[in-house]
Amino acid sequence: MSVDRWNTALVLGGIRSGKSAFAEALVADAASVRYVATAAGGEDDPGWMNRIEAHQRRRPQTWSTEETGADPGRLAAVLAEAKPDDTLLIDDLGGWVATLLDPANQPQDDVELVTALAAAVQGCAGRVVLVSPEVGLSLVPATPVGRAFADALGTTNQALAAVCDRVALVVAGQTTWIKPGPAAAEPDVLDPAPAPASVPAPAAPTIVAPPAQPPVEATPDLVVQPDVSAADDEDVVFEPGMDLPMPDQDAGPDARDRLATLDLSGGGVGPLAEAIEFAAGTQSTAQPRPWTSPRVLLLSGAHSGGAAAGDDQADVDRRVNAAAGGEGALIRLAGRAGADVAVVRTQPSNAMEDGPVLSAAEVDEALRRGWALAAAAARDGRDVLVIAACGVGTDAAAAAVLSATTGAEPVAVLPRVLAPGGTFDDNSWMVRCAAVRDALHRIRHESRGAQDILAQLGGADVAVATGVLLGAAARQLPVLLDGPVGIAAGLVARDLGSQVRHWCLVPDAGTFALVKQGADVLGLTPVTSLGLDLGEGLNALAALPLISTAIGLAADLPVHPALLAGHDD
């Protein structure tokens, strides 16, 4: 059952209403989805095949497709075979009813098949979302076949609505829950930042919050504006060989050794030991405590030229403004992790292929701003930082930094350009590749110092993130990295202070080669391999509860009695 306490949902809507896209958003949090296609035939109809191909392009590669074909009884069998960890998306019941009424399948007991389907949905062990056309709002069809279809579909919709936990109606892309389900009476108190019911958030783990839940504004401290005017190190000099502290070199190994002695019935915490050892070193104790006061720094930058190909500035502004207003997926995950969020808008950066993206003075200003943000977090009692980013052209800028500092091939590390709906814009990706290539060619004879890389390629957001990492290390404040901007900043910061990487942790490997390769160069081993692609900062926040649980468990569990000194044999 989902965190919204539902297991089955029926999504109704007219033609081109957006019902399928909404249904896909409902299961976007699933690791994999079995897409059950009910349509049969249509190979000779180009328009129909175009619709099917559009649906196929929208599906993530992790989804599998199963076709029920011309057998109307197959759908109930698929539901009966589902396992508890399966997620099924059935699209749509109009195709199933058309197959049901096909003369080739007659005579048969249509009512019995509808009843069997409803029972299969109700008894399904997996999570099920069904899509169905709502034809009851139109005129009564003029033909006998049309009336039979409308009647059968109406009967089917009623039968399934009766057994589904929740029912939604989608009209013109707007969604209304007409059967809210038990979550309306039992609000999810763990979700401090619900999205509006009419705007499903595909990347968020919950689907649609019932109106009875408190709005985001109920947690006014979630979004903060750090005071960066009171920086206590205004005379800091950013140069190679900065004198920065190191984590405790003994506490980490001691904590890892202690894990082998804990009173566990199983073999241990597995890869989560990486996070426990990191926390031990940064807290100077073999029994570290989970972080309780994270701060998320959402960096929003804009890169001009080819780096920005395929990015929508208006969409980026919408997401950043939503976070600043206490809404969106980042806010939801931050609230669950007990974190506050600071939105940091950086100055625009010039086109890397045409010349320097920043002046030397602008680089220094951005570094100092990041340093001050880390100082403010320490003053505010924050015990860990999370670098998040949402901007235009940031992936290309980060790929350029990685290529310039490690010699990596841009085409091997530049992330593909993801368009709304889960499709990829490869033309824009090629434009970005060309911009990075031209920029690297332009600076082939230039100095490759840290500030030079930021001025020529990285831009303001990467420079601010670099200042954050340096400032955090100076104040012995750990930082979680999970995306291109944070990794690029780590690669630049190591050339100013090699100690910085020891204060950084990568919670999840994600899906980007850029992040994996950059982390490897920094000597950082991702704690988990969940394959998350929620956005920079969101991956870390999603994994943080699991990591914190492991750290707390390791601290609280005693040593196995058999390993205590002086135990009885």
- Over residues 225-254, the mean pLDDT reads 83
Q: What is the pLDDT of residue 49?
A: 63
User: What is the average pLDDT across 91-106?
Assistant: 84
Among 156-165, 258-267, 437-446, 532-541, the minimum mean pLDDT is found in: 258-267
- Give me the sign of the Cα torsion angle 196, 197, 201, 204: positive
Q: Place 95 in a pLDDT band, splitting at 50, 70 and 90.
A: confident
CA angle 459, 464, 468 (to 5 degrees): 150
Q: Are strands 166-171 and 174-179 parallel, antiparallel or unpaired?
A: antiparallel
Q: Name the more confident of 103 and 299.
A: 299
CA–CA dist 165, 162 (Å, integer): 8
199 to 135, 204, 269, 327, 343: CA distances (angstroms): 24, 11, 38, 11, 22
**More confident call, 18 vs 550:** 550
Answer yes or no: 445 catalytic: no
Residue 120 pLDDT greater than 70, yes or no:
yes
530-569 pLDDT, tens digit each: 888 898 899 999 999 999 999 998 888 888 787 775 444 4
Classify residue 53 as exposed, middle or buried by CB count within 10 Å of its CB (0-12, 13-18, 19+): exposed
**Choosing from 55, 445, 502, 560, which is the catalytic residue?**
55
Q: pLDDT tens digit string along 347-372?
A: 999 999 999 999 999 999 999 999 99
Rounded to 5°, angle at Cα 549 from 555 and 259: 40
Tens digits of residue pLDDT in 176-227: 889 876 443 333 333 333 333 333 433 333 333 333 333 333 343 578 888 7
